[in-house]
Chain A
Amino acid sequence: MSRIRLHHIALVGLLFAWGCGDEDSIPSIPNYENPASSAQDFGAYAAIGNSLTAGFQSGAWGNPDHIEYSFPNQLARALGIENFDQVALGGTGLASVTVDGAPVGNQVLNFDASGNSSVSYSPIDSLALFTLQTVGADISFAAPRNFGIPGITLLGATQPLTAVQPLIPYAGAYMNATSASLSQIDLVAQQANADFITLWLGNNDVLGFVTAGGVPAAFGGQDISDATLFSGAYAYALNAFATTEYIVALNIPDINSIPYVTYPNAVLGSLGVTQLMGTDLAGNTVPVDLSQDFVLLSALSTLQADLLDNGAQDTPLGPQYVLDASEAAAAQAAVDEFNTRIAATIDQFNTGRQGNQSPILLVDMNSFFSEVTQNGVMAGGNTLTTTYATGGLFSLDGIHPSSLGYAVVANKVIETMNEGWGRSIEPIDLESLFGVAPGM
Chain B
Amino acid sequence: MNSRITGSILCVTALASSALSAGFAISEQSPAAMGTAGAYSAAQSASSIYYNPAGIAGLSGRNFEGDVHILMPSTDLTGPTNRPGYRTESMESETFVVPGLFYAHELSGGHTMGLGVFAYMGLGVTWEEDWVGREEIEEIGLQAITVNPTWGYRLKDNLRVGAGLSVTHGDVHLSRDTYSGGAFNTYIDADMEGAGWAFGYNLGLQYDMDEKTTFALSWRSPITLAGEGEAEFSWPELDNPTQQGLLSAQFPTTDLNLDVEMPGILMAGVSHKLNPQLVLRGDFVLSTWSAYEELYFDFETETSLLQDSRSPKEYEDTMALRLGGEWQMNPATILRFGYYYEEEAVKDELVEPSLPDGARNGFSVGMGYALKGNQMLDVYFLLVSLQARESTFASFPGVYETSIPILGLGWSKSF
Contact = CB atoms under 8 A, between A and B. Distances in A.
Interface in B365-415: 393-396
Contact of A381 (B186, B243, B306, B396): B396
Contact of A393 (B182, B242, B243, B249): B182
7 contacts: A11-B183, A18-B312, A30-B84, A31-B86, A109-B183, A385-B182, A438-B183
B87 to A, nearest CB: 11
Given A15-B188, A18-B312, A97-B242, A384 B182 contact: yes
Contact of A438 (B185, B305, B311): B185
A381 B117 CA distance: 42
A28 B182 contact: no
Nearest to B251: A15
Nearest to A113: B249
A15 B178 contact: yes
A123 interface: no
Interface size class of B (residues with CB under 8 A): 35 or more
Interface in A25-49: 28-32
A28 B81 CA distance: 12
Nearest to B249: A113
Contacts, number: 140
Contacts of B394: 19-21, 23
Nearest to B82: A23
B238 interface: yes
Given A15-B178, A404-B185, A437 B240 contact: yes
Given A11-B183, A11-B304, A117-B183, 8 more contacts: A15-B307, A29-B84, A380-B179, A381-B80, A381-B83, A402-B185, A427-B84, A436-B185
Contacts of B308: 16
Interface in A381-417: 381-382, 384-385, 387, 389-393, 402, 404
A378 B307 contact: no
Contacts of B306: 15
A329 interface: no
A31 B80 CA distance: 13
Interface of B: 80, 82-86, 132, 134-136, 178-188, 190, 236, 238-240, 242-243, 245-246, 249-250, 303-312, 393-396
Nearest to A18: B311
Of the listed residues A12, A95, A111, A390, the one surrounded by the most CB atoms of chain B closer than 10 A to its CB is A111
B246 A114 contact: no
Contacts of B304: 10-12, 111, 114-116
A404 B182 contact: yes
Nearest to A393: B182
Contacts of B85: 31-32
Given A28-B83, A117-B183, A438-B185, A13 B307 contact: yes
Given A15-B178, A15-B305, A99-B245, A28 B84 contact: yes
Contacts of B80: 381
Contact of A31 (B84, B134, B178, B238): B84
Contacts of A99: 242, 245-246, 249
Interface string A178-205: 0000000000000000000000000000
A435 interface: yes
Nearest to B135: A381
A98 interface: yes
B352 to A, nearest CB: 9
Contact of B185 (A32, A98, A392, A440): A392
Nearest to B396: A381
A14 interface: yes
A20 B393 CA distance: 10
A384 B183 CA distance: 11
10 interchain residue pairs of minimum CB distance: A392-B182, A115-B304, A31-B84, A19-B394, A382-B179, A19-B395, A16-B309, A11-B181, A390-B183, A15-B178
- State the majority secondary structure of interface residues on B: loop
Contacts of B181: 11, 14, 390, 392
Contact of B182 (A104, A380, A402): A402
B185 A437 contact: yes
Interface string A329-354: 00000000000000000000000000
Contacts of A117: 183
A434 B187 contact: yes
A115 B82 contact: no
Contact of B179 (A65, A114, A387, A434): A434
B25 to A, nearest CB: 23
Of the listed residues B179, B182, B186, the one surrounded by the most CB atoms of chain A closer than 10 A to its CB is B182
B193 to A, nearest CB: 16
B292 to A, nearest CB: 16
Contact of B186 (A31, A116, A387, A434): A434
Contact of B183 (A12, A96, A434): A96
B83 A435 contact: no
Contacts of B82: 23, 28
A136 interface: no
A432 to B, nearest CB: 11
Contacts of B86: 31
A437 B243 CA distance: 9
A380 B82 CA distance: 10
A392 B85 CA distance: 22
A14 B243 CA distance: 18
A247 to B, nearest CB: 27
Contact of A97 (B83, B84, B183): B183
Given A21-B395, A31-B84, A16 B310 contact: yes
B310 A381 contact: no
Given A115-B305, A380-B132, A391 B83 contact: no
Contacts of B186: 434-435
Given A115-B304, A380-B132, A14 B245 contact: no
Interface in A87-130: 95-99, 104, 109, 111, 113-117
Contacts of A15: 178, 180, 188, 305-307
A382 B187 CA distance: 11
A160 interface: no
B185 A434 contact: yes
A98 B132 contact: no
B348 to A, nearest CB: 13
Contact of B180 (A14, A109, A427): A14
Given A13-B307, A97-B246, A437-B239, A18 B395 contact: yes
Of the listed residues A21, A104, A437, the one surrounded by the most CB atoms of chain B closer than 10 A to its CB is A437
A291 B77 CA distance: 50
A331 B281 CA distance: 82
A403 B132 CA distance: 22
Contacts of A23: 82, 394-395
A103 B250 CA distance: 19
A425 B249 CA distance: 42
